[in-house]
Amino acid sequence: MLHAVNSLAAAAPTPTSADSTDYTTLPVQRMGTRLHQRTSAPSQKTATKARYVTSLATLPNDPLAAQQWNFMSATTYTGAADNFNAHIHNGSSSEVIVAVVDSGVILTHEDLRTLPGYDFVSTAEIGNDGDGRDADPSDPGDWVTQDDQQSGTVSAGCETSDSSWHGTAIAGIIGAASFNDTGIAGGAPRVSLLPVRITGRCGGFIHDMIDGIRWSAGLPVAGVPVNPYPARVINLSVGFAGDCSKALQSAINDATEAGSLIVAAATNSAVDLDTTPYSPATCENVLSIAANTREGTLADYSAYGSEVFLTAPGGTRSDAIITTENGSNSAPAPESSYGYHYGTSLAAAHVSAGAATLLSIDSGLSNTELSNLLQNSSVVMSESSICRAGGCGFGRLNVNRAVRILTDEQLTDDSARPPVGAASASSPETESNSGSGLIQLPDLFFYLITLISLRKFCNN
Residues recognised as catalytic? 102, 166, 345
Nearer to Ca ion, 187 or 315 (CB): 187
Asked whether position 182 contacts Ca ion by CB under 5 A, the answer is yes
Can you tell me whether residue 159 is helix, strand or coil? coil
Smallest CA-to-CA distance from 286 within 258, 249, 246 is with 249
Burial of 225 (0-12, 13-18, 19+ CB in 10 A): exposed
Residue 136 CB, nearest approach to Ca ion (Å): 4
Pairwise CA distance, residues 183 & 40, whole Å = 9
Nearer to Ca ion, 78 or 180 (CB): 180
Q: Where are the beta strands (DSSP E) in 247-305?
A: 261-265, 278-279, 287-292
Cis peptide upstream of residue 116 (ω within 30 degrees of 0):
no
- Tell me the per-residue interface mask from 8 to 47 with Ca ion, x by CB under 5 A, - otherwise: ----------------------------------------
Name every residue whose Cβ is closer than 8 Å to that of residue 455 and which is 6 or more positions away in sequence: none
Asked whether position 211 contacts Ca ion by CB under 5 A, the answer is no
Q: Which of 102, 119, 148, 431 binds Ca ion (CB under 5 A)?
A: 119
With beta carbons less than 8 A apart as the criterion, state whether 231 and 97 touch. yes
Residue count of the chain: 460
Q: Which of 62, 125, 211, 431 binds Ca ion (CB under 5 A)?
A: 62
Q: Which of 82, 102, 125, 129 binds Ca ion (CB under 5 A)?
A: 129
Asked whether position 177 contacts Ca ion by CB under 5 A, the answer is yes
Residue 24 CB, nearest approach to Ca ion (Å): 19
Q: Which stretch binds Ca ion (CB under 5 A): 177-185, 218-226, 299-307, 420-428?
A: 177-185
Pairwise CA distance, residues 319 & 14, whole Å = 28
With beta carbons less than 8 A apart as the criterion, state whether 228 and 194 touch. no
Q: Which of 13, 63, 172, 183 binds Ca ion (CB under 5 A)?
A: 183
Pairwise CA distance, residues 180 & 28, whole Å = 35
Smallest CA-to-CA distance from 231 within 87, 135, 323, 115 is with 115
Residue 260 CB, nearest approach to Ca ion (Å): 23
Asked whether position 131 contacts Ca ion by CB under 5 A, the answer is yes
Q: Which stretch binds Ca ion (CB under 5 A): 118-126, 348-356, 406-414, 446-454?
A: 118-126
Asked whether position 111 contacts Ca ion by CB under 5 A, the answer is yes
Name the residue number minimizing CB distance to Ca ion: 119
Asked whether position 383 contacts Ca ion by CB under 5 A, the answer is no
Nearer to Ca ion, 139 or 408 (CB): 139
What is the phi/psi pair of residue 171, to 5°? -60, -40
Name the residue type at position 443. Answer: D
Q: Which of 180, 250, 330, 432 binds Ca ion (CB under 5 A)?
A: 180
Q: How many residues bind Ca ion (CB under 5 A)?
A: 12
* DSSP code per residue over 30-51: E--EEEEEEEEHHHHTT--S-S
Residue 134 CB, nearest approach to Ca ion (Å): 4
With beta carbons less than 8 A apart as the criterion, state whether 417 and 423 touch. yes
Residue 201 CB, nearest approach to Ca ion (Å): 12
Smallest CA-to-CA distance from 302 within 265, 357, 264 is with 265
Q: Which stretch binds Ca ion (CB under 5 A): 120-128, 250-258, 307-315, 339-347?
A: 120-128
Q: Which residues bind Ca ion (CB under 5 A)?
A: 62, 111, 119, 127, 129, 131, 134, 136, 177, 180, 182-183
